[in-house]
């Protein structure tokens, strides 16, 4: 088991350089959470990425938040996320995440980012 980490990467448009590649390389084969520019929260195992930060995620699902009911999880399977649609990438602490009771969490969905 890996030590818990609070590693997260925030992406500004057009800043996928060598530093970004180093950060993402450290997250390969780990479970990550990706917040997209349109407010989606996608979780999966990072299997690869390219020079423009397109991500390949395996065993992927989306967490859909609601202010009136618990969090739903939609299975996506193998999933590719375009780099220009990524706002934040963070490593997920599987132990802490597994302890959450998603049926009791109430939160409005995130709003889309407006550039």
A 10 A CB-CB count for 55 gives 24
pLDDT in tens, 23-41: 899 999 999 999 999 999 9
What is the rounded distance in angstroms from the CA atom of residue 99 to the CA atom of residue 86?
26
pLDDT reported for residue 79: 97
Name the pLDDT band for 92 (thresholds 50, 70, 90): very high
pTM: 0.81
Name the pLDDT band for 2 (thresholds 50, 70, 90): very low
82 CB-side CA count, 13 A = 6
């Amino acid at each position: 088991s890996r030590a818990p980490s609070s590693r997260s990467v925030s992406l500004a448009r057009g800043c996928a350089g060598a530093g970004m590649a180093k950060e993402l390389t450290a997250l390969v084969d780990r479970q990550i959470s990706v917040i997209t520019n349109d407010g989606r929260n996608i979780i999966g195992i990072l299997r690869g990425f390219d020079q423009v930060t397109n991500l390949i995620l395996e065993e992927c699902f989306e967490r859909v938040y609601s202010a009136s009911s618990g969090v739903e999880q939609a299975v996506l399977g193998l999933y590719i996320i375009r780099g220009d649609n990524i706002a934040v990438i963070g490593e997920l602490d599987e132990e802490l995440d597994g302890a959450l009771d998603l049926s009791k969490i109430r939160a409005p969905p995130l709003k889309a980012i407006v550039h």
